[in-house]
Structure 1
Amino acid sequence: MMDFTHLHVHTQYSILDGASSIPKLMKKAKEDEMKAVAITDHGNLFGAKEFFNEAKNHGLKPIIGCEVYVARRGRFETSTKEDRGGYHVILLAKNETGYKNLVKLVSLAYIEGHYYKPRIDKELLKENCEGLMASSACLGGDIPSQIRNDDEKGLEESLAYYMDTFGDDFYLELQRHPTGDPVFDNDTLAKQNKVNEKLIQISLDKGIKLIATNDVHFVNQEDAEAHDRLICLNTGKDLDDQTRMRYSKQEWFKTREEMGELFSDLPQSLTNTQELVDKVESYDLNHNPIMPDFPIPDEFENADEYLRHLTYQGAEMRYQAITDEIRERIDYELGVVKRMGFPGYFLIVQDFLNAAREMDVSVGPGRGSAAGSVVAYCIRITDVDPLKYGLLFERFLNPDRISMPDIDIDFDEDGRDEVLKYVVDKYGKDKVAQIITFGTMAAKMAIRDVARIEKLPLPEADRLAKLVPERPGTTLSKAYKEVKELNDVKIRGTDLAKRTLQYAETLEGSVRHTGIHACGIIIGKDNLINHIPIFKSKDTDLWVTQFDGKHVEDVGMLKMDFLGLKTLSIIKDAVEMIKLSKGIDIDIDNLPLDDKETFELYSRGETTALFQFESDGMKRYLRELKPNRFEDLIAMNALYRPGPMEYIPRFINRKHGKEKIRYDLPVMEKLLRDTYGITVYQEQVMLLSQEMAGFTGGQADSLRKAMGKKKRKMMDELKEKFIEGCAGNGINQKTAEKVWTDWEAFAEYAFNKSHSTCYALVSYQTAWLKAHYPAEFMAAVLSRNISDIKKITTFMNECKRMGMSVMGPDVNESRIKFNVNSKGNIRFGLGAIKGLGESAASRIIHERDENGHFTDVYSIVERVDLKAVNKKSLEALAGSGALDGIGDIKRGQYFGKDSREVSFIEQLIRYGNKFQNESSTSQQSLFGESGELEISKPAITIEEEWPKLVKLDMEKDLIGIYLSAHPLDTYKLEIEHFCTHSLADLDNLSTLNGLEVMIAGLVKSHKQAYTKNNKPYGQIMIEDYSDSFRLMLFNKDYIAFQNFFTPGYALLIRAMVQPRPYNNGTVDYEIKIREIKMLADVREDMIKSLILTIPLKRIDDQIINDIEKFADQKKGSARLKIMVHDREENLYIEMFSRTKRINLSDDLIKFLEEEPEIDFKLN
């Protein structure tokens, strides 16, 4: 069989156009005994590194290429329709020079030429053609387009250009896609035949060689239908849309035999592909680290010397005295850093961190393994002393193998971008880039995408998607093995459901979109396009790499993570607030780590809003542990995660002496004492291997890595060395084997102590603030979570538990963010009011700070800049309640209108403008007369106050939550006594299967629609204190209850949670409503009796008179029953009122709630 290589291949990185999985491509190429394969994605090199690695792994020669877009006029031209996109040309790199030129071309296509598509032009291509081969591409190519348009002059010009530019490295590309479908064959195939006929003639006339390609877009013939769905997804068209973009369904990765049959009349076009393969030289995309240049002061010879200087300078500040131990550790680390070539890396990081601090950006104490470096500590890259906490440098940099250091840095949320700007300004925009991410179709997404194209009903699509386990990385093939129900649909479901799963499995893993890594940054030595392909995104002004985070370091790029950590912003805001409200400066980086109040807070489990310690499970363990030293927090932070969590009870029992601590060897006590004999940290394994078996630091890190990643071969080799080393130190084999076995059981769960220590410190800072300045801390927490209603509700409840009120915005007390007033309560910030605008809020606060509080609403419009504080701003202030505290004006009155239909707010604006204008005129008068301005103030409109629900809805619209009250507060008694679940409890209905639930909620919206059979159904959104929930009612159920679904109605709903089977074999769970009542009717209809339990000693004339007064006020339906008890005498007396039917008024309930000794129950 003749040799053939596919030279025009689109992978899944031709986004929403190619459906070829790179591993599957390689597998098929290898099975067909091909020797090489090319990648030519549309306009990008997104997949080049993955492709290169996979080809090498399969023993195939990788040919890196791209189907570029060549602008029809020029890459800078964007004025006409023809400038959108461009002609297609295939470029293939035949050596490293060609690859670098391809990288440059593809990068500049985005940087300079992007207009609808990333475009180069002929000028740029000619300048960067060395080492590249080219072919004429598909029907969209330059030469094929001239042929199709019968443009002989244009054709000759294009041929001359490509022959002159590429010489013998230019080829004419033939494609044939016969389908048997007359509609397609009379169109596309006819065009291909016309082009091919001309190309063959050109080849004979001009001696340009022909190559056969198949414009590959998917791997196997049976993938054609799935690919067709992908194109629909890309274009947003339906399958049955006759005008939509279509492929021939012939574009699969055909075998050599299939291509031989297709081009049996032109065998040389097949064998010519081997000529290109032979031209491709071997080169490597991987590269040693390319370190950026850091400017060194003149008095130092090089980066090594300067880093040493800074390190010892910092050591003198960090340590009271530089001991021999400290000096030895510093010199050792500096030696490793120098040998690996990373001094510049450390200098770069310390430089932008120092700049960050000078810009008042908060910097975290460290993150990850970098905290194990004393050098990093001395030059203030980290703020945790590795010597104090037994943190290891080798966990950060293994001296036995060169790998890029990994220093991740946390900044406060607001400051991250400032630091990034500093880096860009210092090194240049062409040397700094963010890192691309690829959003792929995971199993659930693939099902939903295909279901939409296939028009599988939405509920069925949801059910299928939900059957896929939530575990990250779960593929459909795995899900079929794990979930019988899903596998049954695949085998026995409806044709539509089976097709959906079939195509979803084919498209699974396809790249759906690009994104930007949340924190990844690379810094280059010179222009990045000399090393890595660059992409431009609408989401950032910075360049973005075309390789993702898995590959940027492999090609030599220096990567670091700039993370915006919300907690640092909270700490910073709290410290600033304490200074503002109390005049106290807090040195948050130097808190005492033995603060009694802080550890008592942890021990009570009052850790809501504390960094990494706020989950319910963690609270429970903290109450049992009662931590009293910082090391306990480090350990809990490491243990509270899947796997090691099972060791927490032992950890707690050992701390409190309930379980004996045993050490296999005396040396283990020294290293495991802080964790009560349990191996919690990777560093403990590393240190023990050094102490017991004489491992070097590098060998110890290799052991850590092998155990953590279960590298069996490496573990077996290291075990042998470990047993031998232990024997050399007098440790018998049995003990050594036991220790090793224990490590194997736990080491994969052992955590990085460096990271745990840093984050325990951040947590401690939040706990210290909460213990000592609770109002300021919680105000900062609320400010930084304002857009998350569930969290805001949780934190407001925590404030209430702590005895603090969270009050609405107030024009005289609020600042931009939440703040603490003079009474120690928390005020909503003006910045949280929608429609006010930060500029208006800032002007109001500035005027107040400069000239005192506003006395009434008139003083506001007299004093503030009404260009910034306009009508919309005043409406937002009034509707949110921010004006409630100045004057006796109800919210509704601000919106009331006079006889001319002018609202009071509009009258205020007019008055304010006139006042300010005349005031300005008076001040500028020649004689400077003074006196009161006589301008009549607009009269307050006579307008009734808004109904409570209108007021609360406006409040929620403007500040995001119900604050002054909740619409359901009126029915709190009913909800507490009758509801079995909150709406938040309905999040996972499968756990409630078979249960009857009683829920309450406020109707927020109601949408009625009709099924295909013209039967009504409704979607009803209800809301309670905890969450919102969508009810779906169909047919008879909907008709029976539809009158209850008016927005604003407060309902009590009795329902069953039950399975709902679908035709495709899946099962979901639903709320089946049995009964609905208006909450307003519940007291009268459902409460049959009131039972009061009163201590005998509390019975007196006053209590009897009070109860009788309520019973006589208004007749009700509830029977009154009184239980009198004397616990000392073990006496209980039941008393019934046969004649009294009591009304359960709000006044009665309030009276009972305010009587601590009286218990009451309803039934």
Structure 2
Amino acid sequence: MMAAHSYYSLRYGTLSPQRIVDTAVLLGYKAIALTDIHNTSAVPDFVACCRKSGIKALAGMEFRADGRWLYTLLAASNAGMHEINAFASACHLSHTPYPPRPGTLSHVFTLYPLRGISPENLQENEYIALQPHEVQSLFSSPFRSRSSRLILWHTVTFDGKEGFELHKILRAIDLNTLISKVRPFDLADPSQVFLSSDDLLNTCSAFPSVIRNTERLIERCTFDPDLASPKNKKTFTGNAYDDKVLLEKLALDGMRYRYGAHDSTALRRVQHELEIIDKLRFSSYFLITWDIIRYSLSRGFYHVGRGSGANSVVAYCLRITDVDPIGLNLYFERFINPKRTSPPDFDIDYSWKERDEVIDYIFKRYGHAHTALLGAMSTFKGRSIIRELGKVYGLPKSDIDRLVHQPESLLAKDSVAAHIERVGARMKNFPNLRSIHAGGILISEVPITCYTALDMPPKGFPTTQWDMYVAETIGFEKLDILSQRGIGHIQECVAIIRETHGLSVDVHRVDEFKVDPLVKQKLKEAQTIGCFYIESPAMRQLLTKLKCDDYLTLVAASSIIRPGVARSGMMREYISRFHNPGGFQYLHPIMEEQLKETYGVMVYQEDVLKVCHHFAGLDLADADVLRRAMSGKFRSRAEFQRIVDKFFLHCNARGYPDTVTQEVWRQIESFAGYSFSKAHSASYAVESFQSLYLKSYYPKEFMTAVINNFGGYYHSWVYFNEARRLGAHIAVPCVNRSYYKTRLLEETIYMGFIHIQGLEERVGKGIVANRELYGPYAGLQDFLGRVAAGVEQVVLLVRVGALRFTGMQKAALLWNVHLYFGRARPLSHLRSLFNMPVKAYTLPVLEQDALEDAYDETELLGFPVSLSWFDMLQTGYRGAVMSHNLPDFVGKKVRMAGQLVTLKYVKTVKGELMNFGCFLDYHGRFFDTIHFPDRLKYYPFRGKGVYLLLGTVVTEFGSPGLEVEKMALLPLKPDPRAAD
């Protein structure tokens, strides 16, 4: 029997499942086994390949301990694969080693290495795997008289000498060592290459009974998994009828909540959807999602419902989403249609602080045996391959960097570099590591281990060993439970408002926010820093170009900002048509009929569906395949190509000019991997309005919440700057005022201890806990006696200014701190009745320079607080033009001074590198820059700081920018202490 390790034996195997099967067929095998090391990731793909090729598939798993082969478990049936997966999962989930013997597994054959067990200890269904190179040793082995328990077993890991070298490289990467230091023990035997069926049988011709045993074992294996039928939990209540009744009741109750009792349009839509949901047996999927939402609402958690399911009125009525599909005219067939075989996907966003509790509820509610996080498979690709290979070949980091960024400089003259390039090409897209999908959860009708073994990653929840593509292929539909920081800062802002003002803000009053004059003004001016999804430089430019001040325009903007639409030129076309709706011609009357709302431009995924269906005449099922492929959620290349061919065939049959067909297809193609559904964009726009409302009316509270939730587009210092611009005073951490996270106290935002680089979390939280227990710190000695912190930690607090409440200068504080730690510390850090005072010394007056504080703040907080970057410059020059003056200088050359905020790297059509920059002027206002390759080559960016910029002011649709010709990083005043 030939048994293969695929390249899913991570950093070990070198063969794809398809390659294994194709080669086995060529070599004359009627059956072949896949026994990857510690995983069953490739089993579904392997079985599918075998079925297409007409070869019998056997499958199992190889188990090892410290690199040594313990045994291989081979599934005798589908129940056997369940047992193997369950056995492996039990070890993985409990982080326990594999036992020396697996115990009784009723539907599994256990295969041991020749010297792994004594003949008399073999149990029923246990065998010895005799490898070809071991056959000769059988003449003197005790197993010669027990040949009925022997089978012929040949493991394949690579194909020939080059394959062995690739295997060796993978092992070096896995062991994080040089290739020259990989030990033979760490490698597969070089004999683990393909043998023809005849050659393999010939190796054991002296023992025909072993061959017969092997053939009988193959016959006894009846593993034949179902790779097609739906596998999600089938019912919510226990039977389909009760599911239907419950869903109908909930939907109608919800309809009255959303639309009132007498909305006939809503009633017709709800009834129509319920009919199709029941017909396609999707009721349980909706009810399970509703149940999760019900739980989270009961806990006071805020959520955002997205995904194609947001096109459903039923989902809106169940409060899964907050987007009204009728009001937005969302395309129903995007969500569900009678030809669709899989339920719509729901993406539910929670705050990053609450998501894990929701996931924990799902596991407890639906059972750990039936629930798992969806895995993901990272692959070797791009720069990561070069870096990994460079390390194992011993290249210095400088050469690796050059090979990554400037390969042409090394490839021609360096044989090692050329070899790395060749090996990298072979390794491209090899599986590298198993990880976790961003939020996918599977809830299975039968135990999940019927289909996969489970891992236990640091996240702490069982995770499948295959990814979303395999899950979909074999009949699973995931539910995405995601987290984002935007929801977190909305919730925290509401809490701060309640705490500081005693007001309860209802962030669900979105219809009021959409028409609020102040909110509309802020949106139109792109005053959106900190607001979810609309704060990036590119998005703020787009809002300015559209003069966006309404919800529907923001919904469109949230989609056309995506890279595919922008790169295709259709974003610019949309803006042009938006401002001049009568100044263009539609490509075809059908495009006008279907895309009038978006001026003939495909903006949403639904638009692709509409065009494919109405323009090209594809049925909805085929159109949805194309739409899913465009979204990166469909991996069958052959199926995709079939639909593409059908698209062009239909267009030709309808008599469309080739130029029109090609342009329509070009626009469809631009969506690849990047498009949003309209419901998705609408959900994002709702959250954007919520953020913008809070920022408009409670700016300091909002910015505090944004800072505390991290994860925004910008570094924290940008949000502190924005808070200062909005009227807040920013204070460095203070042991008597600050919390571990940032705190708003009246008009002052006190930075949290979390922002002090190098300060231990234990110390920061301990300062707050002690203060809340015993009151404010009375002085330096009181603080030192109460807080469990070493001298290094206290010095950090002194340098950052956190002990300024004492009224002492830093130099004096440092003197006294070191004096304190020079004597024996108290045995307890609790408040003491007998604290002995430290002997007082009279120090000379020590000068303190504000610039010293700024340098300390920059080192410890990441940016200066008491001064600005501009205040630290050697020059007093602040620029001839400020951000707000740019529209007055269009077409003119100007000089500006700007603090670098962020950079975007882009490659031109010629493959040259260019940059888009975002800066702050002296007054803290943003402006944008363009750096073309010919200028960037001579005037590159040189890190953070303030730059002097010379360039021409340009504008597009009213959004100004600076096309930079020259720039230089302005020098700072030296730290006064540097001369000491």
Seen in structure 2, the aligned counterparts of structure 1 residues 459 and 270 have a Cα distance that, compared at 3 Å, is farther
Distance 1:816 1:294 in 2: 46
Aligned: 1:424 with 2:363: yes
SS of residue paired to 2:816: coil
Distance 1:660 1:545 in 2: 54
Q: Provide the residue aligned with 2:576 in structure 1.
A: 653
Instruction: Write the letter of the residue equivalent to 1:890.
Output: Q
- The C-alpha deviation readout for 1:445-477, integer Å capped at 9, x for no partner, is 232222222223332222223357xxxxxxxxx
Instruction: Write the letter of the residue equivalent to 2:403.
Output: L
Distance 1:265 1:47 in 2: 35
Q: Decide whether the 8 Å contact of 1:218 with 1:252 is kept in 2.
A: yes
Q: Quote how far apart the aligned CAs of 1:302 are.
A: 1.5
Distance 1:631 1:15 in 2: 48
Q: Provide the residue aligned with 2:418 in structure 1.
A: 498
Aligned: 1:97 with 2:106: no
- The C-alpha deviation readout for 1:754-809, integer Å capped at 9, x for no partner, is 11111122222222222332222222222222899x61233344445545443322
Instruction: Write the letter of the residue equivalent to 1:382.
Output: T
Q: Provide the residue aligned with 1:144 in structure 2.
A: 115
Q: Decide whether the 8 Å contact of 2:757 with 2:860 is kept in 1.
A: yes
Q: Decide whether the 8 Å contact of 2:346 with 2:479 is kept in 1.
A: yes
SS of residue paired to 1:328: helix
Say which of 503, 515, 521 aligns to 1:594.
515
1:597-636 to structure 2, matched below 5 A, reads 597-636=518-557
Q: Provide the residue aligned with 1:187 in structure 2.
A: none
- The C-alpha deviation readout for 1:496-526, integer Å capped at 9, x for no partner, is 2233233333344443333223322222345
1:727-738 to structure 2, matched below 5 A, reads none
Distance 2:505 2:822 in 1: 46
Q: Decide whether the 8 Å contact of 1:975 with 1:1000 is kept in 2.
A: no
How high is the TM-score relative to the length of structure 1? 0.68
Q: Provide the residue aligned with 1:519 in structure 2.
A: 439
Seen in structure 2, the aligned counterparts of structure 1 residues 274 and 557 have a Cα distance that, compared at 3 Å, is same
Q: Provide the residue aligned with 1:174 in structure 2.
A: 131
Aligned: 1:157 with 2:81: no
Distance 1:937 1:274 in 2: 87
Say which of 246, 263, 266 aligns to 1:323.
263
Q: Provide the residue aligned with 2:559 in structure 1.
A: 638
Distance 1:906 1:587 in 2: 55
Bigger RCO of structures 1 and 2 (CA < 8 A, at least 6 apart)? 2
Instruction: Quote the RMSD (CA, aligned, Å).
Output: 4.5
Q: Quote how far apart the aligned CAs of 1:157 are.
A: 2.5
Distance 1:867 1:351 in 2: 46
Instruction: Write the letter of the residue equivalent to 2:558.
Output: N
1:257-336 to structure 2, matched below 5 A, reads 259=200, 275-281=216-222, 283-292=224-233, 296=237, 302-336=242-276
Distance 2:450 2:972 in 1: 70
1:847-996 to structure 2, matched below 5 A, reads 854=776, 856-857=778-779, 861=783, 866=786, 877-884=797-804, 886-897=805-816, 901-903=819-821, 913-915=831-833, 939=840, 942=843, 944=846, 951-952=853-854, 954-956=856-858, 958-965=860-867, 969-973=871-875
Distance 1:849 1:562 in 2: 36
Instruction: Write the letter of the residue equivalent to 2:580.
Output: G
Say which of 500, 503, 511 aligns to 1:584.
503
SS of residue paired to 1:430: coil
Q: Quote how far apart the aligned CAs of 1:684 are.
A: 4.3
Q: Provide the residue aligned with 1:759 in structure 2.
A: 684
Seen in structure 2, the aligned counterparts of structure 1 residues 1077 and 976 have a Cα distance that, compared at 3 Å, is closer
Distance 2:608 2:896 in 1: 52
More displaced, 748-757 or 504-513? 504-513
Q: Provide the residue aligned with 1:108 in structure 2.
A: 90
Instruction: Write the letter of the residue equivalent to 2:88.
Output: V
Q: Quote how far apart the aligned CAs of 1:257 are.
A: 6.3
Seen in structure 2, the aligned counterparts of structure 1 residues 447 and 403 have a Cα distance that, compared at 3 Å, is same
Say which of 645, 653, 678 aligns to 2:601.
678
Instruction: Write the letter of the residue equivalent to 1:879.
Output: R
1:375-390 to structure 2, matched below 5 A, reads 375-390=314-329
SS of residue paired to 1:45: coil
SS of residue paired to 1:144: coil
1:989-1008 to structure 2, matched below 5 A, reads none
Q: Quote how far apart the aligned CAs of 1:90 are.
A: 2.7
Instruction: Write the letter of the residue equivalent to 2:106.
Output: C
Seen in structure 2, the aligned counterparts of structure 1 residues 909 and 833 have a Cα distance that, compared at 3 Å, is farther
Q: Provide the residue aligned with 2:742 in structure 1.
A: 818
Q: Quote how far apart the aligned CAs of 1:533 are.
A: 1.8
Distance 1:717 1:965 in 2: 65
Q: Provide the residue aligned with 1:6 in structure 2.
A: 2
Seen in structure 2, the aligned counterparts of structure 1 residues 404 and 64 have a Cα distance that, compared at 3 Å, is farther
Q: Quote how far apart the aligned CAs of 1:412 are.
A: 0.5
Seen in structure 2, the aligned counterparts of structure 1 residues 660 and 368 have a Cα distance that, compared at 3 Å, is same
Seen in structure 2, the aligned counterparts of structure 1 residues 809 and 251 have a Cα distance that, compared at 3 Å, is same
Q: Provide the residue aligned with 1:832 in structure 2.
A: 755
Q: Decide whether the 8 Å contact of 1:707 with 1:744 is kept in 2.
A: no
Distance 1:444 1:271 in 2: 50
Q: Decide whether the 8 Å contact of 2:377 with 2:432 is kept in 1.
A: yes
Q: Provide the residue aligned with 1:129 in structure 2.
A: 106
- The C-alpha deviation readout for 1:406-447, integer Å capped at 9, x for no partner, is 211100110101111222232333333223333332243232
Q: Provide the residue aligned with 1:352 in structure 2.
A: 292
Highest CA radius of gyration, 1 or 2?
A: 1
Distance 1:541 1:697 in 2: 40
Seen in structure 2, the aligned counterparts of structure 1 residues 837 and 940 have a Cα distance that, compared at 3 Å, is farther
SS of residue paired to 1:901: helix
Q: Decide whether the 8 Å contact of 2:79 with 2:450 is kept in 1.
A: no
Q: Provide the residue aligned with 2:334 in structure 1.
A: 395
Structure 1: gaps (5+ residues): 70-82, 147-154, 177-191, 469-484, 725-732, 919-934, 1002-1022, 1028-1051, 1053-1074, 1083-1163
Q: Quote how far apart the aligned CAs of 1:634 are.
A: 0.9
Distance 2:182 2:236 in 1: 63
Q: Quote how far apart the aligned CAs of 1:62 are.
A: 2.1
Distance 2:773 2:147 in 1: 84
Instruction: Write the letter of the residue equivalent to 1:363.
Output: H
Seen in structure 2, the aligned counterparts of structure 1 residues 706 and 359 have a Cα distance that, compared at 3 Å, is closer
How high is the TM-score relative to the length of structure 2? 0.80
SS of residue paired to 1:329: helix
Q: Decide whether the 8 Å contact of 2:7 with 2:15 is kept in 1.
A: yes
Q: Quote how far apart the aligned CAs of 1:346 are.
A: 1.6
Percent identity, aligned pairs only?
A: 24
SS of residue paired to 2:820: coil
Q: Decide whether the 8 Å contact of 1:174 with 1:196 is kept in 2.
A: no
Seen in structure 2, the aligned counterparts of structure 1 residues 345 and 706 have a Cα distance that, compared at 3 Å, is closer
SS of residue paired to 1:614: coil
Instruction: Write the letter of the residue equivalent to 1:315.
Output: M
1:1048-1059 to structure 2, matched below 5 A, reads none
Q: Quote how far apart the aligned CAs of 1:540 are.
A: 3.4
Q: Decide whether the 8 Å contact of 2:351 with 2:487 is kept in 1.
A: yes
SS of residue paired to 1:67: strand
Instruction: Write the letter of the residue equivalent to 2:441.
Output: I
Q: Decide whether the 8 Å contact of 2:595 with 2:602 is kept in 1.
A: yes
SS of residue paired to 2:92: helix
Distance 1:737 1:321 in 2: 51
SS of residue paired to 2:225: coil
Instruction: Write the letter of the residue equivalent to 1:6.
Output: M
Distance 1:574 1:438 in 2: 37
Q: Quote how far apart the aligned CAs of 1:830 are.
A: 3.8
Q: Provide the residue aligned with 1:1035 in structure 2.
A: none
Q: Decide whether the 8 Å contact of 1:398 with 1:697 is kept in 2.
A: yes
Structure 2: gaps (5+ residues): 880-894, 907-911, 915-932, 949-967, 976-980
Q: Decide whether the 8 Å contact of 1:108 with 1:120 is kept in 2.
A: no
SS of residue paired to 1:400: coil
Q: Quote how far apart the aligned CAs of 1:651 are.
A: 2.5
